[in-house]
Amino acid sequence: MSPGPSQLPLGVGLRDDATFANYLPGDNASLVAHLMKQLDESGESFLYLWGGEGVGCSHLLQAACHNADARGKRALYLPLDALGHFPPDILEEPERLDLLAIDDLQLVVGRKRWEEALFHGFNRLRDAGKRLVIAADRSPRQLEVKLPDLASRLNWGMVFHAQPLNDTQRLAALQLRAQVRGMELPAEVGRYILHRGPRQLDPLFEILSRLDRASLSAKRKLTIPFVKQALEW
């Protein structure tokens, strides 16, 4: 059986909540706009986004694949933190896809077979008029790519430095995620969670999931006393 539009043969799929609707752009509005339009006829053939842990690059790549699925296009998400230890055969015939999204590129840089496979995959996608989006933790020029032709290709695309959210934007992101879940998160409760919780958004969203389950079970609204009790803070 062939894999679905965004499902790897190796079983790595997309997170259901990794959508554009679930993402607060903050200072990344231009990046999000280009990702959403990439499959348009006028869209960029290659986008490269980079940033530190927790800025949302993985979320955005998966959102791009969800967006492709919704448009009836064939997309594939390759998270190299999970797949980089496999041989690069998964990059064969990428031109069958409409969009290829490669995450954590830095994890395979310097490995001869992977660099060659990426170079040839890049060319096949370009020749077929298909789309490519890559995410890494550093800019293309900062990657220690050994294959000169691949290094050159990585600088062909439109490059975006994904910016982290400030505290006001993190509160807005938390409230957006709560709204999507059907929860009401008062600003003072959100600020308390941000003050006591981790800096990274994904662990914060997991806290929100725990609070959602706890509030449904106790049939109580989210208040600071309830959050303290539910999280044992």
CB 147 within 8 A of CB 8: no
Scanning 71-111, the segments in alpha helix (DSSP H) are: 80-83
The residue among 161, 196, 222 that closes a domain is 161
d(CA 167, CA 200): 11
Instruction: For residue 189, give its domain range.
Output: 167-231
Q: Does residue 1 sit within a domain?
A: no
Q: Are residues 101 and 61 in the same domain?
A: yes
Q: Render each residue's pLDDT in the chain as its tens digit; 233 residues.
A: 334 444 344 446 898 889 999 899 999 999 999 999 999 999 999 999 999 888 999 999 999 999 999 999 999 999 999 888 888 888 888 999 999 999 999 999 999 999 999 999 999 999 999 999 999 999 999 999 999 999 999 998 899 999 999 999 999 999 998 998 888 999 999 999 999 998 888 889 999 999 999 999 999 999 999 999 999 89
The residue among 100, 133, 161 that closes a domain is 161
Ramachandran area for residue 178 (φ above 0: left; ψ -120 to 50: alpha; else beta): alpha
Give 99's strand partners.
75, 131
Q: What is the pLDDT of residue 128?
A: 95
For the record, the structure tokens of 213 come out as: 């389950």
Q: What is the pLDDT of residue 12?
A: 67
Q: Are residues 65 and 120 in the same domain?
A: yes
Q: What is the pLDDT of residue 215?
A: 92
Q: Are residues 140 and 69 in the same domain?
A: yes
Q: Are residues 180 and 131 in the same domain?
A: no
User: What CATH code is carried by the domain that includes residue 189?
Assistant: 1.10.8.60
Q: What is the pLDDT of residue 8?
A: 41
Q: Does residue 8 sit within a domain?
A: no
